[in-house]
Amino acid sequence: KNEVEQSPQNLTAQEGEFITINCSYSVGISALHWLQQHPGGGIVSLFMLSSGKKKHGRLIATINIQEKHSSLHITASHPRDSAVYICAVFGGATNKLIFGTGTLLAVQP
């Protein structure tokens, strides 16, 4: 079993919909990252959090340390939000970043 699991693997939404992407992990962590990867490759950091909730524009990330679970929410989704969203945790036995396999989001106009 992977140490970081994301769901769903693929998600198609209509423009304007509220989107939730989930991340569960099985190791002790000191921080969790949400990353975005657009088609054609580059990866950018969206959030790093170790507790509670963070908001940036239409994106909200939450984490529940006790339940080992994080969610990334996108409000009023737009086609430009179409990307792969990657969850990564820092910690575990190796004290390094452990990545999920990503969620491919397509927002249709």
Residues in contact with another protein by the rule CB under 8 A? 2, 4, 30-31, 33, 35, 41-45, 48, 50, 86, 88, 90, 94-102
3-state helix, strand, coil in the chain (%, to 5): 5, 60, 35
Nearest to 22 by CA among 96, 85, 108, 89: 85
Question: How many other CB atoms sit within 10 Å of the CB of residue 49?
Answer: 16
* Least Å from the CB of residue 75 to another protein: 23
Output 6 or 77, the one with its CB closest to another protein. Answer: 6
Q: Which is nearer to another protein, 4 or 107 (CB)?
A: 4
Token pair of 90 as six digits: 């820092």
CB of 17 to another protein, least distance (A): 26
Q: Least CB distance from residue 69 to another protein, whole Å?
A: 17
Closer residue to another protein (CB): 42 or 109: 42
Q: 8-31: buried (b, 16+ CB within 10 Å) or exposed (e) per residue?
A: eeebebeeeeebebebbbeeebee
Residue number, 66 or 93, with CB nearest to another protein? 93
- Closest approach, Cβ 15 to another protein, in A, equals 28
Number of other CB atoms surrounding residue 102 within 10 Å: 19
